[in-house]
Structure 1
Amino acid sequence: MKKLLITLLSITMASSILLAACSNDSSAPASGSAQSATADTKGTENSSTTPAVAELTAPIAASDLSKLPAQAQKRTDTIIVGLTDPSGAFTPYFQQSGYDGNVSSVLYASLVTVDDKGLPIPDLAEKWDISPDGLTYTFHLRKDLKFSDGTPLTADDVAFTWTLIHDKSYDGQSELLTTIAIKGGKAYKEGKAKLIEGIKVIDPETISVTIDKPNAKGLTILGSEILSKAYYGKDYKFGSLDYIKKLHATPVGTGPYKLEKFIPGQEVRFVANEFYYKGKPKTEHFIYKTTEGDTWQFIETGEQDYGSFQATQENIDKLKGLGFLNIIPYTANNYGYLQFNLEHPTLKDKKVRQALTYGLDRKTIYVDANQGAGQIANIPASPISWSYTEEGINPYNYEPEKAKQLLDEAGWKEGADGIREKDGQKLKIHFIGSKSKATDIFIAVAKENYTAIGVQLEAEQFADFNAQIAKFESGDFDLVSFSTPILGDPSDGVISFVNGEVKGYDNPKVKELYEKGLATSDIEARKVVYKELYQVINDDAPYIFTSYRKSVVAYNGRIEGLSISPLRGLSASLPDWKLK
């Protein structure tokens, strides 16, 4: 999968700037991250009362560490966090899923990262300069940087990384290609130039790069992870990148940890990187536990040190009752959605998509089923984003009659068995999703909802995330459940509508507004653009936006130094974690 997608059905974990912290808690909604109880609005959604979501505003400290399970007590130099099984492609820019990205976020640092407000801050680059016209960026690297194999990191490695992504055989979706354009990059990709004109190595610790036009995300995109030229470039020949696949399992990075061992279906083991520029992490070993199972059980038995749960009073009371957990509220900057396959003729009709949105009782699925720990989403941005707006946005309340009217207008007439037909074809929707209690809830409610409006829902569930991705990539689906990665910038929430990730969707107005939103760094001016962009997407309905999720995270009370960020997950604090 070219875009780093993460379903909400994974547990919250360390993450890089563009990766989401999500949950495989069995109470999670089927395709999104719920954030807070939605306000009552007109329509059928008002007819039921939703239990109030728990208002946890401050952390709760573990009350009795003597209750810590023996398994967790015995660990002295290892911390374990859950993760849905990755594919093993751990090289930045080449990951197959967001879970691969969660692994690489532990292995690689970036030139530039962001703070909790999304503002750029130094990482491998200690500072940078931007020309007055906003086109040329000059990065000044920290002194004595090293890769995890002990070799030096210099400006040549930065130039190599930017160049590699422009190879004609690169088929990923790096924003170095999709969002910005380095001067001369296209000529290199087409084989018309031996070097990329806009990249200039000034000295071993200084490099400049010129882009074709100003871009609000230029600094963080150019400031992404760096690959070792000596390691990843040793066998590089223009037009052939297949060799990199052989290196995925033995990464050489710049992050706080090195890969020790990957055991598919069981765990990803890391060991502290003594060459990490901030100093060796305080805990020698870190493990992503990838075994399928119940998060509650893993937490209760001490098999796992960290878990994410819906912020319901029931969950909070249960977590507090265990006694050995620290509990903190957490809201990720992402959203959940059901994606249509617009390559299928039936779904090319906007009225059909809108009808399927009106005809789905999202409040029951994503709010009520989660005891109020959810808010219905209607745009590709979360309420904690500075770009969020409800002005001019259709809430698509659950209105079966409205859905029927739209289907009538689209020419779908009710057949003898109650299922609508058009040109001899029945209105069937093939849904794919993960095997989970949350997906079971979605399927049960959606089948009932859609049958009521004359639509037949056929559901297919996958226990293995990579199998679901393979099905998605094949195009053999009508509707699929996903959640976005963490959205570092509002443009991250809409890029899929521009870069072809949403199969069959092509709206010139969306592309125009997307470009306009990136053409300035003035937040107030960008707010105006994104409001219009959200209104267009909301009306087009290429997704059924599902929910924002409000969570609490609970972790072993022995762990010190742990903090989380709505934009960076746990990756920023991971090197400081230690077991007291």
Structure 2
Amino acid sequence: MRKGLFSVLTIIISGALLLSACSSPASTPAAESGKTEAGATTSEQTTTPAAGSITSLVKATDLAKLPENAKKRTDTIIVGLTDPSGAFTPYFLQSGYDGNVTSVLFSSLVKVDEKGLPIPGLAEKWDISEDQLTYTYHLRKDLKFSDGSPLTAEDVAFTWTILHDKAYDGQYDILSTNVKGGKAYKEGKATSIEGIKVIDPLTISVTVEKVNATALQVLGSDVLSKAYYGKDYKFGQLDYIKNLHSTPLGNGPYKLDKFIPGQEVRFVANENYYAGKPETEHFIYKTTEGDAFQFIETGEQDYGSFSATTDNIDRLQKLGFLNLEPYTASNYGYLQFNMEHEALKDKRVRQALTYGLDRQTIYVDSNQGAATIANIPTQQSSWSYTEEGINPYKYDPEKAKQLLDEAGWKEGTDGIREKDGKKLSVHFIGSKKKGTDIFIAVAKENYAAIGVQLEAEQFADFNAQIAKFESGDYDLVSFSTSILGDPSDGVLSFVDGEVKGYDNPKVKELYAKGLATTDIEERKAIYKELYQVINEDAPYIFTSYSKLILAYNGRIENIKINPSQGISASLPEWTLK
């Protein structure tokens, strides 16, 4: 994710769903800890699938098996969520899980579809000037906050203004859009932001200083009530908002009813929601820790998500009362090279280490098929995704040996390659988990076969791994991205110095070009070329996209999972038949 830019996340952690949240920046890697997220929906599978094989929606086979407590619920749907902190004000979240809550409480000016393309939200339409520097948002008529007060262009202007305040220290980087006069306001050199113009209660325009393809969506995010969140606002003083975190005033499909830390977050339908009051009166995030499968099996929870292993699929199918749906993660895993180290400066060595690693065995076969191999820095659901001109780097030890020979690394008496008196050794760091254990076991064998020694170091604490990473004491490190939105999110690390020792002017040129136009077809062509360049350079060994299985109560209808918005996009339409 672009530094500081909020993304809509859909991470599943042991069946607890992270739907919409503040992400870690793209230039800050995420732990590769089995965390994955809900992806695109698929067509319905009408025939009974073979055990452990699901390629499309499979409906519940026997709702009579549904546990009694789930049968008795007539106006409430329960979904699992890792415990949020209670900071329920957009832009001021203290954890990603707080974002799950705010995604239910607030709506944005602009939403995104399954491909990540903008669609109307609170704004029914928008205009972009011919020079692509001025955005005019046209709000829907009669918009209201959940207390019935009107939502107007003044509220949008207020939201943009406080995000430019010098006291704002959240992760939302509105400055990246370069709103005209925004920097001057932040520095206290102006009392208002020159580029923001309230035209009338339903119309607001904003002018940026240079073309930015992400501006429409960055500026088109959640809207805060000026009357509620701004009544005590003074430039340079935003601490008062902390006192409002637990009593949010939103404009989304639901209102906060009650937050019981460690147990649940309760919501009630918002009768003032612009798209109409939600079909189901009550919604609950169950935040109690425990076995996600048990919560689904006993009916305590209506919805969960699981790694798409054969064992999980078989176990879920046998329950009979669940709809099952496959989807693929909207992030990617990767192994990052430290190219400040001499051996790894040579592209041929990096390519050899990619060819010489059996990714199929490590990431797909060992996980019972619950993953697919990744080769470019974007998610498969993105409109920018392509395989054209992309080297799949299929496991090929002989090709790896050839490249190492060309790079001058010759096999020593002990089988390990040497050059200029130094052995070819790779120091790997990663998290302490089963997947890393499998990687180390297979990679040691793979690399020994091509004359490379692998030394591995594992960390139980992610912060310790990050500290080691930041010290530069590694050759190869295992991470995954946060959930990706715009294609620029997935490639930022290759231009901002995050990938140590990597500096390709062509990548920087294409990255800038990709942001300098709002034309999707132009951007597709630019990102296609950019992906090809990165794929050839091999600054990462791209690993995999996680495959998941969504399991939910067969009584629930109208569930549609948006890779960029998770369940929040269709939640207002969910019904219990």
Q: Is 1:362–2:362 an aligned residue pair?
A: no
- What is the TM-score normalised by the length of structure 2? 0.80
Deviates more, 1:189-198 or 1:419-428: 419-428
Deviates more, 1:188-197 or 1:256-265: 256-265
Q: Which amino acid in 1 is paired with 2:155?
A: D
1:425–1:562 CA distance, 2 compared to 1 (3 A) = closer
State how far apart, in whole Å, the 1-side matches of 2:86 and 2:467 are: 18
Deviation track 1:316-345 (CA, whole Å, cap 9, x = no partner) reads 44433211112233345x232236485986
1:498–1:513 CA distance, 2 compared to 1 (3 A) = same
> What secondary structure does 2:280 align onto?
coil
Partner of 2:394: 397
Indicate conservation of the 8 Å contact 1:4/1:95, yes or no: no
Deviates more, 1:542-551 or 1:203-212: 542-551
Indicate conservation of the 8 Å contact 1:486/1:566, yes or no: no
Partner of 1:455: 454
Partner of 2:72: 74
1:562–1:416 CA distance, 2 compared to 1 (3 A) = same
Indicate conservation of the 8 Å contact 2:514/2:523, yes or no: yes
State how far apart, in whole Å, the 2-side matches of 1:439 and 1:280 are: 46
Q: Which amino acid in 2 is paired with 1:112?
A: V
State how far apart, in whole Å, the 2-side matches of 1:544 and 1:87 are: 35
Partner of 2:158: 160
Q: 2:333 aligns with which of 323, 332, 337?
A: 337
Q: Is 1:578–2:555 an aligned residue pair?
A: no
1:471–1:438 CA distance, 2 compared to 1 (3 A) = closer
Structure-to-structure mapping, 1:52-131, within 5 angstroms: 54=53, 56-57=55-56, 59-131=57-129
> What secondary structure does 2:318 align onto?
helix
- What is the TM-score normalised by the length of structure 1? 0.80
Q: Is 1:561–2:558 an aligned residue pair?
A: yes
| Structure 1 residue 211: Cα displacement | 1.6
Q: Is 1:547–2:547 an aligned residue pair?
A: no
Deviation track 1:61-93 (CA, whole Å, cap 9, x = no partner) reads 222211112332233332222233444444323
Indicate conservation of the 8 Å contact 1:34/1:375, yes or no: no
Partner of 1:23: none
| Structure 1 residue 188: Cα displacement | 1.8
Q: Is 1:429–2:428 an aligned residue pair?
A: yes
State how far apart, in whole Å, the 2-side matches of 1:221 and 1:111 are: 10
State how far apart, in whole Å, the 2-side matches of 1:486 and 1:154 are: 30
1:235–1:427 CA distance, 2 compared to 1 (3 A) = farther
Structure-to-structure mapping, 1:178-257, within 5 angstroms: 178=176, 180-257=177-254
State how far apart, in whole Å, the 1-side matches of 2:467 and 2:285 are: 26
State how far apart, in whole Å, the 2-side matches of 1:88 and 1:353 are: 45
| Structure 1 residue 247: Cα displacement | 3.7
1:391–1:116 CA distance, 2 compared to 1 (3 A) = closer
State how far apart, in whole Å, the 1-side matches of 2:101 and 2:398 are: 47
Partner of 1:48: none
1:428–1:72 CA distance, 2 compared to 1 (3 A) = same
State how far apart, in whole Å, the 1-side matches of 2:362 and 2:456 are: 16
Q: Which amino acid in 1 is paired with 2:78?
A: I
Indicate conservation of the 8 Å contact 1:32/1:547, yes or no: no
1:369–1:268 CA distance, 2 compared to 1 (3 A) = farther
Q: Which amino acid in 2 is paired with 1:454?
A: Q
1:200–1:361 CA distance, 2 compared to 1 (3 A) = same
| Structure 1 residue 115: Cα displacement | 3.0
Q: Is 1:493–2:490 an aligned residue pair?
A: yes
Q: Which amino acid in 1 is paired with 2:19?
A: S
Deviation track 1:530-550 (CA, whole Å, cap 9, x = no partner) reads 122112333444443221234
Partner of 1:388: 385
Indicate conservation of the 8 Å contact 2:133/2:210, yes or no: yes
Deviates more, 1:492-501 or 1:134-143: 492-501
> What secondary structure does 1:456 align onto?
strand
Give the gaps of 5 or more residues in structure 2. Answer: 25-31, 41-49
> What secondary structure does 1:571 align onto?
helix
Q: Which amino acid in 2 is paired with 1:121?
A: I
State how far apart, in whole Å, the 2-side matches of 1:491 and 1:497 are: 10
1:84–1:184 CA distance, 2 compared to 1 (3 A) = same
State how far apart, in whole Å, the 2-side matches of 1:535 and 1:171 are: 37
| Structure 1 residue 238: Cα displacement | 2.9
| Structure 1 residue 225: Cα displacement | 0.8
| Structure 1 residue 124: Cα displacement | 1.1
| Structure 1 residue 226: Cα displacement | 1.0
> What secondary structure does 1:455 align onto?
strand
| Structure 1 residue 516: Cα displacement | 0.8
> What secondary structure does 1:95 align onto?
coil
State how far apart, in whole Å, the 2-side matches of 1:371 and 1:211 are: 49
> What secondary structure does 2:567 align onto?
coil
1:124–1:492 CA distance, 2 compared to 1 (3 A) = same
1:90–1:512 CA distance, 2 compared to 1 (3 A) = farther
Structure-to-structure mapping, 1:297-308, within 5 angstroms: 297-308=294-305
Give the gaps of 5 or more residues in structure 1. Answer: 21-27, 37-50, 463-467
| Structure 1 residue 529: Cα displacement | 0.9
State how far apart, in whole Å, the 2-side matches of 1:2 and 1:218 are: 14
Q: Is 1:286–2:283 an aligned residue pair?
A: yes
1:103–1:354 CA distance, 2 compared to 1 (3 A) = farther
1:379–1:270 CA distance, 2 compared to 1 (3 A) = same
Deviation track 1:232-263 (CA, whole Å, cap 9, x = no partner) reads 33343333444444443433222112334445
| Structure 1 residue 161: Cα displacement | 1.2
What is the CA RMSD across the aligned residues, in angstroms?
Answer: 4.1
Q: Which amino acid in 2 is paired with 1:129?
A: D
Q: Which amino acid in 1 is paired with 2:333?
A: Y
| Structure 1 residue 508: Cα displacement | 4.3
Partner of 2:142: 144
Indicate conservation of the 8 Å contact 1:182/1:210, yes or no: yes
1:73–1:504 CA distance, 2 compared to 1 (3 A) = farther
| Structure 1 residue 117: Cα displacement | 4.4
1:82–1:250 CA distance, 2 compared to 1 (3 A) = same
1:321–1:90 CA distance, 2 compared to 1 (3 A) = same
| Structure 1 residue 195: Cα displacement | 1.2
| Structure 1 residue 105: Cα displacement | 1.3
| Structure 1 residue 371: Cα displacement | 2.8
